[in-house]
Structure 1
């Protein structure tokens, strides 16, 4: 069986040993680096399936590392592990393109679940590279985050694209907020919920002039993507 490859950064030797050991016991191949500079060097030479980064590291911190990684690869999942608990730090990580942010001390079971979710999502995207959707007058290419018609081309963010694709796969169905968040990003906490509202607001603006297309807000429940 092919092992998924994880690039893992952590400068705490004890935590790094325990985390790497648990990941390897769950059949992952782990490359561990103690600083962001080494991790970036390794990433540029090898292929990985997912990144798990500490933030507070010597030489190049996790935020700088993620920024550099995103310039090389826009799709690989990135999970931050950090003792930094401030809302601003978490939001900064997500804005830099991270897929999730776990606060130390974290449970290895939660980390394993996150990794499994993001790898499944990545594989699903790879298997649907040529999948296109019709959205009103638009053609939607989820692989390339692209909405285009005869007059304009709109580039969505990765998360906006994932959300629109999820809506289209479940159109005219009532979807609970927590169901959307857990299905797409593995978490339904406050910060993810606020981000979801932002993504939905932007999609509504983009599709505002499309006849028969709307995103209904069902108070206290969730949303319904209406496509007549």
Structure 2
């Protein structure tokens, strides 16, 4: 599976060039042409590196980095900027960026930097990872990534919380009260429909047939059980 790159840049000429460089290095790309678009993508998708422009139409790239790190997202960030002031690079690094390269850049240098940063980050994750394995499923609590038979399944934050609850305690029956308290942090005013929506979303991602679930099964009158 190819490593994934999120390109955050609002200049088509630049992001098309960045895509070309990434593709030549066997990397998958997704483009966000604004800071808000990038933040929305990061809510439901994971990437191996983010290439961040500083000057965006809706907010500075520095603000995007602040928000990413404020949410606990440790995805490597490389600033790709047309501004060549030392202040920008130092400020970006102080906010949590991992590297900085200025435009115009040399494609070979950029490609090498990106691959090195991805490799370094993966080695750090392997050193500190906590992997929960259960049947064909595994969950890395350091990266919050979930896999079935070695293939990553992208989960939203609440889907991730729900799946972690299940995979930590296979075969246990969870009432809706227990699920609501764990995922939403509050056992008052439980919304059964909300729980059912997320159960169905998980089933659509991990079951062969969502209508005949083999892993997340309903225990009539009680709640749900995860069978790995």
C-alpha displacement of 1:119? 1.1
Is residue 50–residue 78 contact of structure 2 (8 Å, CA) maintained in 1? Answer: yes
- Show the counterpart of 1:93: 92
C-alpha displacement of 1:130? 6.5
Is residue 8–residue 35 contact of structure 2 (8 Å, CA) maintained in 1? Answer: yes
- Show the counterpart of 2:164: none
CA distance in 1, matches of 2:72, 2:30: 18
Is residue 35–residue 61 contact of structure 1 (8 Å, CA) maintained in 2? Answer: no
- Show the counterpart of 1:84: 83
- Show the counterpart of 1:3: 2
Is residue 54–residue 80 contact of structure 2 (8 Å, CA) maintained in 1? Answer: yes
For 2:128, what is the secondary structure of its paired residue?
A: coil
C-alpha displacement of 1:74? 4.4
- Show the counterpart of 1:221: none
Matched, 1:60 2:59: yes
For 2:68, what is the secondary structure of its paired residue?
A: helix
C-alpha displacement of 1:72? 2.5
- Show the counterpart of 2:138: none
* Aligned structure 1 segments of 4 or more residues deviating by more than 2 angstroms: 72-75
Q: Deviations over 1:165-220 (max 9, x none)?
A: xxxxxxxxxxxxxxxxxxxxxxxxxxxxxxxxxxxxxxxxxxxxxxxxxxxxxxxx
Instruction: Give RMSD over aligned pairs.
Output: 1.7
For 2:105, what is the secondary structure of its paired residue?
A: coil
CA distance in 1, matches of 2:76, 2:129: 21
- Show the counterpart of 1:223: none
C-alpha displacement of 1:113? 1.0
Gaps of 5+ in 2: 131-141, 143-228
Is residue 52–residue 79 contact of structure 1 (8 Å, CA) maintained in 2? Answer: yes
TM-score between both structures, scaled by the size of structure 2:
0.54
- Show the counterpart of 1:199: none
For 1:128, what is the secondary structure of its paired residue?
A: helix
- Show the counterpart of 1:39: 38
Query: Is the radius of gyration larger for structure 1 or structure 2?
Result: 2
Is residue 53–residue 79 contact of structure 1 (8 Å, CA) maintained in 2? Answer: yes
How many pairs align?
A: 131
- Show the counterpart of 2:111: 112
C-alpha displacement of 1:5? 0.7
Is residue 83–residue 103 contact of structure 1 (8 Å, CA) maintained in 2? Answer: yes
TM-score between both structures, scaled by the size of structure 1:
0.54
Gaps of 5+ in 1: 132-142, 144-228
